[in-house]
Amino acid sequence: MKMIGRRIVCLGFVLAMLVQGVLVRTAFGQQSETPSRLRGEIERFAQDTGAFDRLWRSDLSAARMARLSELYDSELATLRGMNFDSLSREEQIDYILFKNDLEHEKHAMSQLKAQFAEMEPLIPFARTINDLEDARRRLEFADGAKSAAVLDGLAKQIAETQKAFEKDSAAKPKRTVAYRAARAVAGLRDTLKRWYTFYNGYDPKFTWWCESPYKAADEALDKYQKFVTTKLVGIAPDDKTTIIGDPIGREALIEELRFEMIPYTPEELVEIANKEFEWCIAELKKASREMGYGDDYMKAIEAVKKTYVEPGKQPELIRDFAREAIDYVKKNDLVTVPRVAEESWRMEMMTPERQLVAPFFLGGETILVSYPTDTMTQEQKMMSMRGNNPHFARAVTHHELIPGHHLQGFMTSRYKPYRRMFSTPFWMEGWALYWEFLLWDRGFDKTPEDKIGALFWRSHRAARIIFSLNFHLGKWTPEQCVDLLVNKVGHERENALAEVRRSFAGDYGPLYQMAYMMGGLQFYALHHDLVDSKKMTDRAFHDAILKEGPIPVEMVRATLTDAKLTRDYKPNWRYYDLGK
């Protein structure tokens, strides 16, 4: 089970100065002489939650839920006892961030409990398994004979649960709930194994009593998971390709948007994405005409896909693209690139297994290059090579390395590392995508082929908003999401399947895929307000952002513009004009 949330990475920041009447922060100066008094409280909370996550490894543990809920309430009470007006500006920012995070964690816990309640008819034995492990974690050691009786009853309960669903077809749950339950059963099986392994062989009486009933319970769990997967979900037990997903609904989307400080409705965000998508199509047609394909931009995209390099040459290509982007931002004084950051990034090849869910590049300090291996089928090889052609790869490289994710991660580890607890993809992915916007405006993409490559990704980011929000609103199926990427963006079908599978597998929060473009548009609007107006230089602006940390972009804006802050601060920045 995954709690709804957003954890990524963080950065830090420094001094303040007045620039043309607007309070802005300079970058790469000395650390503040009066660090935030909330830092210690935030760091202790992060350490405490980390300790409890390690203590209770099952999200469905009743002990875990109760103790974390107690911790959230305690920290919120501490914040309520503070005099907000007496805090420094930096402390007020930390206060708002911390309060927002705690309130979201409480909400996520209530959502987890609701999901558990929805699944409980399918896994009525979950509490028994979790209670065994929770007792062990409390150092209440098991009695062999009593444990054997529990395991015997557990095996029978699992078998009876399966028989009940086999007999009563009317009791069949929603497919999404069944899929969630199948994953929960796999987790419960691991939990039971951890509990049993602790005693087995070390306590002779325990092993004598429990070896046979444990095997029966484990086999019952395995059999039941396969039953739920095949009969209630409707896929093969080893199916890693079918996309199920678990839409969260409009109300939950609005709550997530509130947490991310995005003051738009889901419907407004889809409207913004459609406008951005239309802009991309218009620009794609311009580039297509330059290439001689008229307005049929899909033919132009097809021609660009055929420019792939021969096997073995992709690493050299990515190295050259990385150096090109680094040289460009340094030459144009766009952002500070520390020497160690420039020297320390690495490259590895992505495994064929990982390419099933990440058909393109992934990055940070290490860029993972996606390209076919000799183990793939001919069809898989061609899709990978076509989808990672030089013009598509050029924009992805600076997104992943410098000035994108690698530079972010480098700064995260050096400035205000305590703020990584508040990390958000709207800052992390938004920053990397924002550079695609900025470099486009500066003419970085000169040839029509390079423009096609850049626009492919830009339209892809808009499409992510359209398909992910429509899916979570219950309006679209995964198949419709795939069709949009194939028919309108120009993805290879296998790559589109991987993108949608990645979006809905449960490893990312429900807003993650929309965070790329929405975060990018936030930074883009802020750049217009502060740099185009000459209140800041490009370099000062970008360095300041990197030193503030991976926080909601609205709070970056509040910091850079000296916006008025209150204890119950609410997001209000309408960064995109819908023209209404």
Name the pLDDT band for 255 (thresholds 50, 70, 90): very high
Torsion of CA 526, 529, 535, 537, to 10 degrees: 50
Query: What would the two tokens of residue 425 be?
Result: 């993809």
Name the pLDDT band for 6 (thresholds 50, 70, 90): very low
- Minimum mean pLDDT range among 17-26, 196-205, 256-265, 531-540: 17-26
Query: What would the two tokens of residue 92 be?
Result: 């007020």
Quote the pLDDT of residue 357. Answer: 64
Domain ranges, ordered by start, for the chain? 41-119, 126-233, 260-561
Name the pLDDT band for 244 (thresholds 50, 70, 90): confident
Query: What would the two tokens of residue 262 be?
Result: 């995005």
Candidates 173, 177, 157; CA nearest to 165 is: 173
Q: Mean pLDDT across the stretch 238-244?
A: 79
Share of the chain above pLDDT 90, in %: 77
The answer, yes or no, to whether the previous bond of 403 is cis (omega within 30 of 0) is yes
Residue 558 has pLDDT above 80, yes or no: yes
- Does the pTM surpass 0.75? The reply is yes
Candidates 521, 476, 481, 483; CA nearest to 503 is: 481
Greater pLDDT, 162 or 356: 162
Residue whose tokens read 């007045």: 18
Quote the pLDDT of residue 383. Answer: 82
Quote the pLDDT of residue 350. Answer: 85
Cα distances (angstroms) measured from residue 579 to each of 246, 279, 526: 33, 15, 19
Residue 29 has pLDDT above 50, yes or no: no
Residue 371 has pLDDT above 80, yes or no: yes
Share of the chain above pLDDT 70, in %: 93
Q: Mean pLDDT across the stretch 161-179?
A: 89
Q: What is the pLDDT of residues 481-532, one digit of tens each?
A: 999 999 999 888 888 888 898 888 777 789 999 999 999 999 999 999 999 9
Residue 32 has pLDDT above 50, yes or no: no
Residue 539 has pLDDT above 50, yes or no: yes
| Residues 154/217, Cβ–Cβ less than 8 Å | yes
In terms of Cβ atoms closer than 10 Å to its own Cβ (0-12, 13-18, 19+), residue 457 is buried
Quote the pLDDT of residue 303. Answer: 96
Quote the pLDDT of residue 21. Answer: 32
Quote the pLDDT of residue 26. Answer: 38
Close Cβ partners of 410 (under 8 Å, ≥ 6 residues apart):
338, 340, 341, 344, 365
- Other beta carbons within 10 Å of 255: 18
Angle at 368 between CA 318 and CA 553, to 5 degrees: 95
CA distance 259 to 261: 5
Residue 25 has pLDDT above 50, yes or no: no
Residue 14 has pLDDT above 70, yes or no: no
Beta-bridge partner residues of 146: none
Q: What is the pLDDT of residues 413-426, one digit of tens each?
A: 898 999 999 999 99
Close Cβ partners of 462 (under 8 Å, ≥ 6 residues apart):
273, 274, 276, 277, 280, 517
Cα 580 to the chain's mean position, in Å? Answer: 32
Greater pLDDT, 303 or 376: 303
Name the pLDDT band for 27 (thresholds 50, 70, 90): very low
Name the pLDDT band for 253 (thresholds 50, 70, 90): very high
The DSSP symbol for 408 reads H
Query: What would the two tokens of residue 83 be?
Result: 């005099």
Query: What would the two tokens of residue 335 be?
Result: 């952002």
| Residues 564/438, Cβ–Cβ less than 8 Å | no
Quote the pLDDT of residue 11. Answer: 30
Residue-wise burial string across 173-194, b where 16 or more C-beta atoms lie within 10 A, e elsewhere: beeebbbbbbbbbebbbebbee
DSSP helix/strand/coil, 25: strand
Instruction: Return mean pLDDT, the chain.
Output: 90
